[in-house]
Structure 1
């Protein structure tokens, strides 16, 4: 018997932040595949971080693993790659779950702001924030509602990959696409969501200040009518670490409906 596959696409070393979830899913009979999208985590960094490129990488991983059509779970900016995957490679997936998705659909697609177009400026911004170990806990706290859940173990998970060589310039390259210069992504087109043929579920922390709940409500209107939206009370942008039990219960229920 082959277990149904559940593939997570996540930023940073955040695939490790799913450990309290992946074990629960494995126990429930899922084959769990958790990816760190480059240039984050310990993944190779081949350059070019458009959603199209990221979707192709996920497709390649699933193909090499000989995975049957999987339920794709995309969190934060990983949701862009997850959505791009199901739009470009619909046969690769049998369902899509979006968690606090950073899709940028409430603003018109555009080039990255002029102030960050020079790479040296982006490198300064990254060195002061994402790759600065002094700032890791503060950055994590800014993303979650339950500040006490910025535990040392989670801070360490986020810090470890940033010690790799060239992390700051690599993330600076990614930042250019993330902040707007990815207009060719299918998933940047608001009208494309109505054409998604797979079942979709949305999970969202109702206290998310990074991707506010208004974005979840907007996303729900773009997708087919049968799409479900579950708001997670009292949780922010990283619900899987803020309240693992509540999040896992909501995720399992969503999986059961796809």
Structure 2
């Protein structure tokens, strides 16, 4: 379906399942296809392509609060007074913003390797951020076939299974019909800056919250976005936060984009739906 927002309309995919509705918010360079692995567990998911991504690539603008306003429009369009919300990576920050500003619309919150402050962000500068995204920006200067793009992504993400049809569908959704990456570089960088340098309001959360995090960040044995110790500190500081769940032997993307990671994320979501 299409949902009108400021500047255009969002593409929203509805996964019919046997649960109450769940609003699913993807990460900074992702799309609605991120949630296919979780949807396979039988959840009723509402998965928008955020502005600048996928079939919403034509909608200009960026920013955590802008995305939160957009997904609020999605709830309104579906006439849902409230929903459980799950957000992965940047989607977690969007979900936190939504839950803090509109707590009556979020009955429970699931944060997947995002939404809470990352220690690495404290050492980031705008210059380092630009350098970190240089490969992604360069990739937008050329055209790709679906097979070429998948091969590169499988090299960059050694834990994904390139034979998984969900993987192929996910990365194919990044491309236009003529093989260009849909996500504009300026949108990617602007959203990343808002995540890293923006003020998080996580300590203002009042809705029941679950937190799932990965053992690694970008492949085996890499330092995680969140350590077990940091997760415990969040648990102690935030009364509404349930016991954090660590997913062993997956990285950031693998929390959702692998069968094993999605199974743990689905377990947390099922618990939140109760």
Same fold (TM over 0.5): yes
1:51-76, CA deviations, whole angstroms, 9 ceiling, x for partnerless residues?
01100000001111111311110012
Report what 1:90 is aligned to: 103
Measured in 1, the distance between the counterparts of 2:37 and 2:196 equals 35
Offset at residue 101 of structure 1 (A): 1.6
1:9: which partner in 2?
A: 25
Give the match for residue 171 of structure 1.
Answer: 184
Shift of residue 141 of structure 1?
A: 4.9
Contact 2:23 2:46 in 1 (8 A): yes
Paired position in structure 2 for 1:137: 151
Change (3 A) 1:129 1:234: farther
CA RMSD of aligned residues (A): 3.7
Mapping for residues 59-138 of structure 1, pairs under 5 Å: 59-101=72-114, 105-106=118-119, 107-108=121-122, 112-113=126-127, 116=130, 124-127=137-140, 134-138=148-152
Aligned to 1:221: 233
Residues 141 and 198 from structure 1, CA distance in 2 versus in 1: closer, same or farther, beyond 3 angstroms?
farther
Q: Does residue 251 of the first structure (1) align with residue 268 of the second (2)?
A: yes
> Equivalent residue for 1:209?
218
Deviations 1:121-174 (A, max 9, x none): 788434269978534433355346x34x23352134312342157965852121
- Give 1:220 shift: 5.2
Greater CA deviation, 161-170 or 234-243? 161-170
Structure 1 partner of 2:62: 49
Q: What's the offset of the Cα at 1:89?
A: 1.9
Unaligned runs of 5+ in 1: none
Kindly state the Cα deviation for residue 208 of structure 1 after the two structures are TM-superposed.
Answer: 3.2
TM-score by length of 2: 0.71
3-state SS of paired residue (1:86): helix
CA distance in 1, matches of 2:214, 2:225: 7
- Give per-residue Cα distances to partners, 1:157-206, cap 9 Å, x unaligned: 31234215796585212122233256885xx33xx322210111011222
Distance 1:130 1:206 in 2: 34
CA distance in 1, matches of 2:118, 2:157: 20
TM-score where L is the length of structure 1:
0.75
Residue 248 of structure 2 aligns with which residue?
A: 233
User: How many aligned positions are there?
Assistant: 244
SS, match of residue 173 in structure 2: helix
Greater alpha carbon shift after TM alignment, 126-135 vs 217-226: 126-135
Question: After TM superposition, which residue ranges in structure 1, 4 or more long, deviate above 6 angstroms?
Answer: 128-132
- Alpha carbons of 1:233 and 1:110: their partners in 2 closer, same or farther (altered >3 Å)? closer
